Amino acid sequence: MGKGNVFDLLGPIMVGPSSSHTAGAVRLGAMARKILGEEPVGGTIVLHGSFATTGKGHGTNLALVAGLLGMDPDDDRIPEAPKIARERGLNFAFETADLGDIHPNSVKFDILGRNGCRVQVLGSSIGGGTIVIREINDFQVEIRGDYPTLVILHQDLPGVVAQVTLLLATAQINIARMRVSREKRGAQALMVLETDQKIDEDVLGLMRKLPKIYQVLAIEPLE
């Protein structure tokens, strides 16, 4: 068995009866907020599997909204998250649906940001507060929120990935994990890179100026 740490064995401090339905749900909401890249103002939250059938009793709805508000899993305001959202003028509607052959503790966010950005994020809470983001805007990804992460929307052309990795190497930034998915050959693609070091704004600025790069989002790791 590989080495672990105390967090892996015990899970995070949390409010609520279930690490998957509370701590994991908070972290899913927080990750969706980070991927949106701005303050969410509303949207739809689609619950799947046990999130849909037993989530209300476990406080999953509260936890997901708390994460979207930027709360941590140990925040004692989690039970009041919907009230706080309403006070801020935010409106999140819940639905249930079969999202396919994925983990039963899964959710799909379709959220709108204050500056007009909109994103769809599909993620799962897989136990002990651990999460996996599986899709961003229908692109397949695998993000766990434990590393600084770059999400780059670009055209699927030869050399684009090489330009990005060369820029990171020049900045002495090591890539821990990387995945590229695309709509179809030559169309839009999504590059996700998890790095060992935080990427500063100068590097991000250079990356945004690379040809055929449409959007660059830097996501800090979850606490």
List the one residue out of 163, 48, 151, 26 whose CA is nearest residue 98: 48
Q: What is the structure's pLDDT at 14?
A: 43
Angle, nearest 10°, between helix axes 201-208 and 160-170?
160
Q: Is 97 exposed, middle or buried (0-12, 13-18, 19+ CB in 10 A)?
A: exposed
* 102 touches 142 (CB < 8 A): no
Residues 109 and 204 in one domain: no
Task: Let me know if 169 is exposed, middle or buried by CB neighbors in 10 A (0-12, 13-18, 19+).
Answer: exposed
Do residues 32 and 98 share a domain? yes
CATH code assigned at 167: 3.30.70.260
pLDDT of 6-60, one tens digit each?
333 333 434 444 555 689 999 999 999 999 999 999 999 999 999 999 877 778 9
Mean pLDDT of 152-169: 95
Question: pTM of the entire structure?
Answer: 0.83
Same domain, 111 and 163: no
CA distance 127 to 157: 38
